[in-house]
Every structure is written in structure tokens, then in C-alpha cells.
Structure 1
Amino acid sequence: MLYGITAAATAFLLSAALAVLLRGPALRLGALDRRQPREVPLTGGPAVVLVTAAVAGAGHGTGVVPLGDGVGGLLAAGAAVALLGLAADVWRLRGRVLVAGTAVAAALVVPYEDTGAVGGILAAAWITALAAAFRGLDHADGVAGTVGVVTAFGVGACAAAEMRDGVAVLMSVLAAALTGVLLHNWHPARIALGAGGSLFAGFVLASAAVLLRAGHGAGSSAGVLFALTAVVAADAVLVVVSRRSVRRPLSRSGPDHLAHRLRRLGLTAQGAAVLLGAGAFAGVLAGVLAHTGWAGAGTLLAVGAVAAAAVIALLRVPVYGIRRTAPAGVFPGQRLLACKERIRVEPSPLRSVDPGQGVRHT
């Protein structure tokens, strides 16, 4: 217990400091969030990965808290996925390359002896999809960090209930590292996670959840896994359905995520992050209760019903074909016009406020 608190505090302080120290190298390498009208370095991802691996590895190496069977390999696979994401941040790799690499890493961490061949394939596919969806969630200031912290605490609680100390410590360290970066990623963001950090967080969270649910019933496991990641899953479903309904390519970015639509309804950037964090907490609570046997299938079905209702309701919010004007960082009297891959600034006699400030398109 004492080590877990110490490890979490250390991870929090180190990630907050390292994210700032890496700002210079990120600027030189061009690892920037190009969806922002200002330079936002993608140093949050390397900070989270390095700190999580170092602190969790120190506990394992000293023998204080061994990570346990499969957890060390999980962390190594997550680091490999993070490197692939970092390469995408610098060189803008194609999305299919990231998905393929993540799928290979997921296939290596699934405990097939507990899941079986078919269950293992489905688990690997779910880990891959969840990691990609978590990357998509990193489209707005503070959203990925907030949801990631809540989800990590939930998975850690499930691990603690089963006396899986290695997984529990890993989740607490990951949550603390994300919190340290969240200090800089809260709106207006000065640092972002990027593909490296978001893919790593999503991959580690999904893989740890699969390890904990391996050997349980397939139906109940699917319900628990969905509840633990309800907001991430809802965002992915919302984007896919929305883009397919207007015959928009899935790879083409747009202002169609949860946070974009909440901003269209009048919420602030901070309000959208808090609301999505609260939704993640509700789903995580249901998942933890179901995993520990304190709640039944009805609770999990309720989470699914609420998520489906939210997706259906937010699909009615118009997001395509709306011109964005005067986002943060643009001088009064200017207007941004998005032209595919570039942004052109035009003078405008009026200043208007964009309800999508603080969000980015992915």
C-alpha cells in the first residue's frame, strides 16, 4: 500500500516535469499538434510512457511489487506501440500502419490458455480497436487524460479485488502519469499526448482489463470490458456511424466526436471534459461492481442502454458543413477557413466565437 502511494506520487511529479523538459526536442523534431492554431508539442506521450515504464519497472526489478505473469510483456508491447505512435507524431504515418502494428502487439499479450483461440482473437481485436478509439478521444483538451485516469483507477480496483498487485500498481502509476500530463493538457492545452501517449494508454488499459477478465464467462466479460471503457467505445461508435451515414471516409477527420458535439450544445471545453469524465466514472463504477460480483447483468445492460441513447441523441447535433470562425489564438478580425490539409487566414470585419474552441478534428 505504501509503495503504491509512493510510486503514484513519483509518477505524477516526474511526468509533469518531463513533459515540460521535452518541449524543446519536440519543437525541433516537429512533433506538434498540427490541428491547433498554435504550437502545442506532443511531449505528453513520451512523458507518460517513460515514467510509467520506469516506475513500474523499478518496483518489479527491486522485487517490491513484481508485475506478475504477462504484465511485463504487456508493458513491453505497450512501449512498442508507443514508439510506433511517436513515429506517427513525427512523420505522420498512415492510420493502417498504426492499426496493423497495434494488432500484432495485441496478439502477443492475449492469454490464449485462458481465453481459447477464438476468444483470444476477439480479445486482440478488442484491444486494437480500443487503443485506436482512445487515440481518437485525444481530439480535445483534457478529454483523453481525464477519461484515461478514471479508467485506470477502475481497472486498478478490479486488479486489487483479485489481489493482482502488479496490475494494480501499474494502473495506479499510469493514472498518476496521465494526471501529471493533464496539468498541462487542460484547456487551453500547452502540451498534448499525441498518438504515442494515447495509443500507449489505450493499449495498456485494454490489455490489463483483458488479463483480469481472462477465464471468466465470455458474455459477462464483454459487459464488464464495455462498462470500463464506455465513453471511449461510445465516441468510436458515434464517429463511425456519423461518417458512414453521410458517406464520409472513416479516415477523414471531422468535428464529429463527443466533445465536438457537446461544445455545439453550448458546453465549454472544460465542461465537456468534466462531463465525459463523469460518464466514464459511472461506467467504470458499474464495471467494477459487476467484476467483483456486487452487480449483475442488469447494471451492465443499463450502461449499454445509456451509452446507446447518448449516441443516438448526439447524432442529431449538426457538425458537418459548419464553418469554424475565430478560434483561440487568432487575432480579432480574422477568420479561419479550413481547406483540406491547410488553413488559410482571411480578414473579416466581424469577430465571431466558435463553439468548437478547445477541440480538434481527428
Structure 2
Amino acid sequence: MNVLGIIASGVAALFITVVLAKGARRAALRPPVPYEPGGRAPRTRCRAMGGATVVLGVGTAAGGALWLGAVDGSADPVAGMLAGAAIVAALGLVHDLKPLRAALRLAVQWAAAVLVVCLADLSPAAGALAVLWIVLVTNAFALLDHSDGALPAVGIVTASGLLACAALDGGTGPALLPAALAAGLIGFLPHSWRPARLHLGGCGAQFTGFVLASSGALIQAAAPSGRAAWAALPVLATVALADAALVVTSRRRAGRSPLRDADDHIAHRLRRVRVTVPGAAILLALWAGVSVAAGTLVYAQVLHPALLLVPSAGTVAAVLALLRIPAYAARPRPAARRTPTGRTKGATPTAPTPSCTRLAPAASAAPSGPGAPALARPTAVTPAPAPAKPEPIISAPAFTAAGHPTVPPPPAGRSAAPLAAERS
């Protein structure tokens, strides 16, 4: 195993990632371009595209190591893994800029996984399982990018476990990308810690998951027959798979779409029991550390594979306990109303709109004729927007002793002479 080549690639990945992340952080904190009210979109996109710094740092270091011949033996599997990871990272970058459909993303991930399997020269049965494993773990790790520092912390622990397993077999190829990825995530972690200035986004999250999953598949293919790789390597992705299982189960139980994002991940539920954001990232890293330590010791034939049931049972119990923490707000029910028939409706009725014009209340219907007194003409009035007042009670017209109706006073602004003329 070319130890110096692995160390040099890790140092190069760390240095490149730190330099690029520092520049991306300055761009993220720069005042946004006010091309829309508030100008928040440029800053948000720049922060979400911070994963491109990890991709460039890890890809440059690993590609340089391949070009310099740091990999012992055939470099085709490593080159295929690096090419597939680059394809998935480009897909994630496009998704960060403009969201893509889930079917298209899955199709590209399947194609990248098939490329890795073909260049690794696996059997058809092992290749089919490897493709399924790569796609599953890639999306599981992509779901972890929901809290500050969660995905980089878990990714560092998982990559370290894969590096240890590859070092036990003495293979440089399977150990190259895990070493570079662990170094790149270490350089990126301070920028994604609480309060995060950069996020991995779809680009960095899918790249991280794909590299970890494909590295596990390559280590499994190159493992000696005495190793319990079939039981040890899946345990390294315990936290990511547990979070994915928690999310899918809770959304199915709540009748929600599994593809619709919500605040129902492990870190979100820990926040609801008063765990801070850095505390949630630390707990996830410790959880991953226990699983990675158990899997690495089993792979090194220090522990019996049956002992892997202990962390697996603990993970199942933790998922069941987290399911009891409410993650979705109760939907408000519409106010009930009663119809004229007495039935209750869910919709709230709106008050009837009053007519815009009504006639002023006239005195009453007075007798007509040449000798009948003239009454004031009704005028149209418009009600004020204030609440409607009860209509005044109109009394019957008064009559004189001779039985004739009394003459109402003339309207304001009119004299009695024109009124007498109208009466004649």
C-alpha cells in the first residue's frame, strides 16, 4: 500500500477545500445583488453551493494521485468511481440551481452506479446488489444535509471507517477516495458548523454519499474470503439508513408524500426535546462512531459478526423512540356552521352583502287626488360601511279633526309658496 500517496492526497484535498471554502464563504457573506425585493436568492444559492468546494478539492486530489500513479495495480475501478461521483455531483449542482424531478435524479444515479460496477468487473449478481446499494446509500446520505454540521460530521466518521477497512487489506485503490473525502470534509466542517455559512447542498451531499457507497462496494469486492465484509460494511452507514427509514416511515404514517421534504429528520426531532443544533450533530457523529467502530472491529476479525446485532438493535430502538416525538403540526379544522335545516357544514358562511342603495323610509302611502297634500319625495341614500343599524319604526300619518291628513313640513331649503303651487 502506497501510504505516502494516500497521505499526500488527503493533505492536498484538505488544503484545496480550505482555500475554496474560504473564498465561497466570503462570497456568501457579501451583500446580495438586489435583482429582486430583499435580494436573498443570490446569498442562499451561494451558501447551498458550498459543496462544490468539497467536490473540487477531493476530485482534484484524487485525480492528481491517479495521474501520478499513487494507486497500486489497476486504477480503472477508482477512475470509474471518481467519474461516477463527478456525474452525480454535476447533477446535484444543477438541482441546486433549478430543482429536478426525482425520476431524472434516480436515473442519473443508476447510470453512474452502473459505470462503477462495470469498471470494477463484478459478477452480475454482485453488480446488481452493488448498484442497488450505491443508489440507496447515496440518497440516504443526501437526506442528512438538513442540519448544520450533521452530514460533514457523519461523513468524516464513516469515511474514516472505510479507510481503516481498506488499510487492513492493503489496497490503495479503495482507500484513496475515502482518505481524500475525510480530509475534504474536515476542511469544510468549520464553515458548516452552527451558525453555518456554507452548506453542502445537493452537489456535495450526493457526492459524499456516492463516494462512501461506491467505496464500500469496492472494499467488499476486494475483501478476502475470511472477512465478514457482507455484515461489517453495511453497518458503517447505520445513521444515514436510520434517518431515511425514520423519514419514510413517519411520512407514510402521516399520509404524506415520501418525496416531500419536511422537518421530520433525526436532528429535527432532537431539537424538539431541547437538544441544540451542535448537540444534534455531535450525537449523530457519536452514533455513527459506535456503528463504525463495531463494523471495523468485525471486519478486522476482532469481534464476532453476531455482535453487530447490538448496535443494530440499538438503532431500531432509537428509531422507534424518535417516531414517538411529534414532527408535524396539527392541521386546523374549518369552523362549523349550521344550515337552515339544522345540519352542520364545515365551511364558514360569509355575511350577506347589504344592498348598496335603499330608499329612505317614506311616511306612508297617503291618499292621492287633487286635494291631497304633497309628501316629500323619497331619496336614495347609500349606507355607510359601519355596521347596519336597525330600521326606524315608521308611524302612521296623523289626521286632523275633519279627517284630512296633516301636511308635513316642507323640505329643508324650500319655501311654502312653491309647495302651494305644486299642491294646486
Quick check: TM above 0.5?
Answer: yes
> In the alignment, residue 297 of structure 1 is paired with which amino acid?
P
Bigger shift: residues 143-152 or 117-126: 117-126
Is the alpha carbon distance of 1:160 and 1:28 closer, same or farther for their aligned partners in structure 2, counting shifts above 3 Å? farther
1:314-355 per-residue CA deviation (whole Å, 9 max, x = no partner) reads 0000110169xxxxxxxxxxxxxxxxxxxxxxxxxxxxxxxx
2:269 aligned partner? 261
From 170, 175, 187, the equivalent of 1:180 is 187
Q: Would you say 1:16 and 2:18 are equivalent positions?
A: yes
Q: CA deviation at 1:25?
A: 7.3
Q: CA deviation at 1:200?
A: 0.6
1:45-86 per-residue CA deviation (whole Å, 9 max, x = no partner) reads 111111111111111211234573411110111001100010
Q: What secondary structure does 1:229 align onto?
A: helix
1:110 aligned partner? 117
Q: Would you say 1:51 and 2:57 are equivalent positions?
A: yes
1:332 aligned partner? none
Q: CA deviation at 1:118?
A: 2.8
**Alignment of structure 1 residues 202-213 onto 2, 5 Å:** 202-213=209-220
Q: Would you say 1:287 and 2:295 are equivalent positions?
A: yes
Q: CA deviation at 1:10?
A: 2.6
> In the alignment, residue 56 of structure 2 is paired with which amino acid?
L
Is the alpha carbon distance of 1:177 and 1:300 closer, same or farther for their aligned partners in structure 2, counting shifts above 3 Å? same
Higher relative contact order (CA 8 A, sep 6+): 1
Q: CA deviation at 1:40?
A: 6.0
Q: CA deviation at 1:215?
A: 6.3
Q: Would you say 1:60 and 2:37 are equivalent positions?
A: no
Q: CA deviation at 1:3?
A: 3.9
2:414 aligned partner? none
Is the alpha carbon distance of 1:29 and 1:131 closer, same or farther for their aligned partners in structure 2, counting shifts above 3 Å? farther
Q: Would you say 1:130 and 2:137 are equivalent positions?
A: yes
Q: Following the alignment from structure 2 to structure 1, what is the Cα–Cα distance between the partners of residues 182 and 12?
A: 12
> In the alignment, residue 318 of structure 1 is paired with which amino acid?
P
1:140-168 per-residue CA deviation (whole Å, 9 max, x = no partner) reads 00000000011111111111111111322
Q: Would you say 1:92 and 2:127 are equivalent positions?
A: no
**Rg (Cα) greater in structure:** 2
Q: What secondary structure does 2:123 align onto?
A: helix
Q: Following the alignment from structure 2 to structure 1, what is the Cα–Cα distance between the partners of residues 44 and 112?
A: 34
> In the alignment, residue 316 of structure 2 is paired with which amino acid?
A
Residue ranges of structure 1 left out of the alignment (5+ in a row): 324-362
Is the alpha carbon distance of 1:5 and 1:246 closer, same or farther for their aligned partners in structure 2, counting shifts above 3 Å? same
**Alignment of structure 1 residues 1-362 onto 2, 5 Å:** 1-22=3-24, 41-66=47-72, 68-110=75-117, 115-214=122-221, 220-321=228-329
Q: Following the alignment from structure 1 to structure 2, what is the Cα–Cα distance between the partners of residues 103 and 276?
A: 28
Q: What secondary structure does 2:296 align onto?
A: helix
Is the alpha carbon distance of 1:264 and 1:295 closer, same or farther for their aligned partners in structure 2, counting shifts above 3 Å? same
RMSD: 2.8
Is the alpha carbon distance of 1:215 and 1:114 closer, same or farther for their aligned partners in structure 2, counting shifts above 3 Å? farther
Q: Following the alignment from structure 2 to structure 1, what is the Cα–Cα distance between the partners of residues 121 and 292?
A: 24
Is the alpha carbon distance of 1:250 and 1:151 closer, same or farther for their aligned partners in structure 2, counting shifts above 3 Å? same
Bigger shift: residues 313-322 or 266-275: 313-322
> In the alignment, residue 51 of structure 2 is paired with which amino acid?
G
- Conserved? CA contact 1:115–1:215, under 8 Å: no
Is the alpha carbon distance of 1:297 and 1:114 closer, same or farther for their aligned partners in structure 2, counting shifts above 3 Å? farther
Is the alpha carbon distance of 1:220 and 1:238 closer, same or farther for their aligned partners in structure 2, counting shifts above 3 Å? farther
- Conserved? CA contact 1:155–1:171, under 8 Å: yes
Q: Following the alignment from structure 2 to structure 1, what is the Cα–Cα distance between the partners of residues 201 and 45?
A: 13
> In the alignment, residue 285 of structure 1 is paired with which amino acid?
A
Q: CA deviation at 1:2?
A: 3.7
1:328 aligned partner? none
> In the alignment, residue 101 of structure 2 is paired with which amino acid?
R
1:11-49 per-residue CA deviation (whole Å, 9 max, x = no partner) reads 22221220232457788999xxx99x9776123311111
Q: Following the alignment from structure 1 to structure 2, what is the Cα–Cα distance between the partners of residues 28 and 197?
A: 27
- Identical positions, percent: 42
1:286-318 per-residue CA deviation (whole Å, 9 max, x = no partner) reads 111122222222122222111111111100001
State the number of aligned residues. 319
Is the alpha carbon distance of 1:230 and 1:69 closer, same or farther for their aligned partners in structure 2, counting shifts above 3 Å? same
Q: What secondary structure does 2:47 align onto?
A: coil
Q: CA deviation at 1:113?
A: 7.9
Q: Following the alignment from structure 2 to structure 1, what is the Cα–Cα distance between the partners of residues 260 and 174?
A: 36
2:411 aligned partner? none
Is the alpha carbon distance of 1:29 and 1:73 closer, same or farther for their aligned partners in structure 2, counting shifts above 3 Å? farther
TM-score between the two structures when normalised by the length of structure 1? 0.81
Q: CA deviation at 1:139?
A: 0.5
Residue ranges of structure 2 left out of the alignment (5+ in a row): 332-424
Q: Following the alignment from structure 2 to structure 1, what is the Cα–Cα distance between the partners of residues 281 and 317?
A: 19
TM-score between the two structures when normalised by the length of structure 2? 0.70
- Conserved? CA contact 1:238–1:311, under 8 Å: yes
Q: Following the alignment from structure 1 to structure 2, what is the Cα–Cα distance between the partners of residues 142 and 22?
A: 17
1:333 aligned partner? none
> In the alignment, residue 9 of structure 1 is paired with which amino acid?
V
